[in-house]
Amino acid sequence: MKLTTLRGAGRDGRLAVVAPDLRTAAFAPAIAPTLIDAMERWGEAEPALRELSESLRAGRAAGTFDFKPLEALAPLPRTYQWLDGSAFAAHGELMAKVFGIQNPQSERPLMYQGMSHQFLSANEDVPFRSEADGIDFEGEFGVITDEVPRGTTAAAAAGHIKLIVLINDWSLRTLAQIEMKTGFGWVQAKPACSAAPLAVTADELGAAWYEGRVALPLHIWLNGRKFGAANGREMGFSFGELIAHAAATRSLCPGTVIGSGTVSNENYRQIGSSCIAERRAIETVDEGSPRTPYMSFGDSVRMEAVGPGGETVFGVLEQCVVSSPTYTTI
Amino acid sequence: MKLTTLRGAGRDGRLAVVAPDLRTAAFAPAIAPTLIDAMERWGEAEPALRELSESLRAGRAAGTFDFKPLEALAPLPRTYQWLDGSAFAAHGELMAKVFGIQNPQSERPLMYQGMSHQFLSANEDVPFRSEADGIDFEGEFGVITDEVPRGTTAAAAAGHIKLIVLINDWSLRTLAQIEMKTGFGWVQAKPACSAAPLAVTADELGAAWYEGRVALPLHIWLNGRKFGAANGREMGFSFGELIAHAAATRSLCPGTVIGSGTVSNENYRQIGSSCIAERRAIETVDEGSPRTPYMSFGDSVRMEAVGPGGETVFGVLEQCVVSSPTYTTI
């Protein structure tokens, strides 16, 4: 099942089910007006949404309309909790090496709580105050959970994964360095993320939903040139393990989004990277200093995860970074 | 104006205005059913809520009922963003000294994003999985903002402070040490906070709303014995400065809660502390090792900020920590 959110009266948008062929969609107001509402009572909402999905497939759903991915908002335009991991060992080891820090990733997952009151849509321009902040993208997979009781084990956590998403976790690297040294994590360095148009159930991935990981290549283009195609299969911790880590001392609310961190593979020199910081780290190791600049205003990044038949799985994220020195409202 | 939230049909509870003498209250469904709803359109909600407050004072409000603080939920039982500072220089310098770290607090505020999908009520038991996690309280003041545009200055930020609250930021010190070293901030070490029953407008504080700070003593008792009475006046950064720091690269959503961090004064040896960790740090400096243990199951902590006439300002937080090795739901 594929879900999307379109513009609606409120801040949470309007939930729609998308047909398997992505051509049509239908709103589901009688089932759940918004995705956050569906997450809060997923047990009853899911079967009804799946029934609507089946009707769409069969061409017998009422009130269908053409699905236009460019009009989609983020699946959850806002939610109450975004916990982002850094679960790819290749990335963690490389960054630790370059920054001369001990890599603490081996024993327990790395995770921070990020901004969740706004997820940008996949095609809107992304405003930043200054290029000097070190504007970078991070391509990563994420999962959306229902309510997860405190103390849930990694094995049980897998059952709380209800939807899978694709996220661009915008990062400001100059600020990240400053904030990381405080031990308090990131606030200024991590503004709103962007999200691809479709949130899909695990069965949509088939065999690519592999041991709690998204075993798909994440293709990334920077200004139209291929930048990376790392596969989510090499995630060092599964999403179930990340959820269990998050839920060790707190219950997770329905609609919690858990991120994988930058998708990264051992053969990053061949396959490329999912963020500029990783490429700069490789350049530093290989050449003594970084060569690839962070993003400038006007630069664009495109991300897409594709299935075995070349089909899009979450839709396309394609965005331009723009200057916004003045006030913006949300 | 004093606002409170009582149990309601949904996860956000039910907003009520409390009379100045704290004896009566009235729901405000026609104005705003919940506090988060009021925050999202504060411009229109505030005058109507103030009018209801005035009617309560004059004894001519319709639908009044006895206000029972023990029945109050947190003013915002959940919200989209909780950003907690550490703005008291006395606390920061002491902790840096004891842990042998550079105190990065002098130039820019310390701040992390914490769990916001659940704030516990002021009198409910607080369940933890293990005493070995180092259970500690942190008494602190907080403010609730309306929407704050990105790039708002500290001077302009003051105008976005709509309500003031009292928070117990529960902390698990054993886990905090581990997580702080990663640079990613805290997830496991910072479960749900608790909040005192009343959220009040700045005018309720009179002269105690002093340069964007809550210049009131925060009285704390641990198991019935006085633990501290530090005054919020010594905050090293004002709430306006904390908001500006938070809003440097993101807009803040309505209902954002910004915390001061543990209230702490230069004369902590005389006035006491607002968390056990600080007292243990003082003991380490003075005696070579900490003597005061973290909390055990069955221990209780009480917090209250009082005005110049001895009157309660936010109501009382009084809670018992209990063992909860099994699943709990939110």
pLDDT in tens, A38-50: 999 999 999 999 9
User: Which chain B residues are closer than 8 Å to A183 by Cβ?
Assistant: 101, 180-183, 185
pLDDT interval class at B325 (50, 70, 90) = low
A240 vs A5: CA distance, rounded Å: 25
d(CA A160, CA A295): 36
Per-residue CA distances from A206 to A174, A200, A212, A309 (Å): 40, 11, 12, 12
Which of A111, A133, A248 lies nearest to residue B184, judging by beta carbons? A111
pLDDT of B326 over the 70 cut: no
Q: Is the pLDDT of residue A330 over 50?
A: no
Question: In chain A, what residues touch B111 (CB-CB under 8 Å)?
Answer: 184, 187
Q: Specify whether the CB–CB gap between B273 and B227 falls below 8 A.
A: yes
Identify all chain B residues contacting A83, using CB atoms and an 8 Å cutoff: 187
B276-287 and B89-99 are packed helices; what angle lies between their axes, rounded to 10 degrees? Answer: 50
Q: Do A188 and B149 touch (CB under 8 A)?
A: no
Beta-carbon contacts of B5 under 8 Å, excluding residues fewer than 6 positions away, are: B12, B13, B14, B15, B16, B34, B35, B72, B73, B74, B75, B76, B77
Is the reported ipTM for this assembly greater than 0.85?
yes
DSSP A23: S
- Reply yes or no on whether the pLDDT at B184 is more than 70: yes
**pLDDT tens profile B137-177:** 999 999 999 999 999 999 999 999 999 999 999 999 999 99
Find, among A306, A304, A282, the residue nearest to A292 by Cα.
A282
Q: Which pLDDT value is given to residue B329?
A: 47
The confidence score (pLDDT) of residue A249 equals: 97
**Cβ neighbours, 10 Å, residue A221:** 16
> pLDDT band at B104, cuts 50/70/90?
low
Binding-face residues of B in 11-70 toward A, CB within 8 A: 11, 40
> Percentage of chain A surpassing pLDDT 70?
97
A81 touches chain B (CB under 8 A): yes
What's the pLDDT score for residue B256? 98
Q: How many other C-beta atoms lie within 10 A of the C-beta of residue B327? A: 13
- Looking at residue B98, what is its pLDDT? 86
Find the CB nearest B184 among A80, A110, A252.
A110
pLDDT (mean) for B301-327: 92
- Average pLDDT over every residue of A142-159: 97
For chain A, where are the alpha helices, taking DSSP H only? 35-40, 42-57, 89-99, 154-157, 173-182, 239-246, 268-271, 276-287
Q: CA A26, A30, A35, A41: dihedral to nearest 10 degrees?
A: -140
CA gap A249, A281 in Å, rounded: 34
Mean pLDDT over each residue of chain A, to the nearest integer: 95
Q: Closest approach of chain A CAs to the CA of B58, in angstroms? A: 37
Name the nearest CA neighbour of A231 among A88, A108, A112, A59.
Answer: A88
Q: How far apart are CA A105 and CA A76, in angstroms?
A: 29
Higher pLDDT, B106 or B230: B230
Residues with Cβ within 8 Å of A122's Cβ and at least 6 positions away in sequence, in order, are A69, A72, A74, A194, A195, A196, A197, A315, A316, A317, A318, A319
Tokens of A118: 């706004």
Residue A113 has pLDDT above 50, yes or no: yes
**HEC string for chain B:** CEEEEECCCCCCCEEEEECCCCCEEEECCCCCCCHHHHHHCHHHHHHHHHHHHHHHHCCCCCCCEECCHHHEECCCCCCCCEEEECCEHHHHHHHHHHHCCCCCCCCCCCEEEECCCCEECCCCCEEECCHHHCEECCEEEEEEECCECCCCCHHHHHHHEEEEEEEECCEEHHHHHHHHHHCECCCCCCCCEEECCCEECHHHHHHHEECCEECCEEEEEECCEEEECCEHHHECCCHHHHHHHHCCCCCECCCCEEECCCCCCCCHHHHECCCHHHHHHHHHHHHCCCCCCCCCCCCEEEEEEECCCCCECCCCEEEEEEECCCCCCC
User: What is the average pLDDT across B309-324?
Assistant: 96
Per-residue model confidence as pLDDT tens digits over A184-236: 999 999 999 999 999 999 999 999 999 999 999 999 999 999 999 999 999 99
pLDDT (mean) for A158-162: 97
Chain B residue with the nearest C-alpha to that of A96:
B182
Q: What is the pLDDT, as a whole number, of residue A39?
A: 98
B9/A contact by beta carbon, under 8 A? no
In 10 A of CB A229, how many CB atoms? 21
SS3 A110: coil
C-alpha Rg value of chain B to the nearest Å: 19
Nearest by CB to A327, from B111, B149, B192: name it: B149
Q: Do B116 and A80 make contact, defined as CB atoms within 8 angstroms?
A: yes
Residues B2 and B69: beta-carbon distance below 8 Å: no
Alpha carbon distance A18, A23 (integer Å): 8
The pLDDT value recorded for residue B224 is 98
**β-strand pairing of B171-172 with A300-305:** unpaired
Parallel/antiparallel/unpaired status of strands A72-73 and A2-6: antiparallel
Contacts of A206 (CB under 8 A, 6+ apart): A307, A308
At B244, phi and psi to the nearest 5? -60, -40
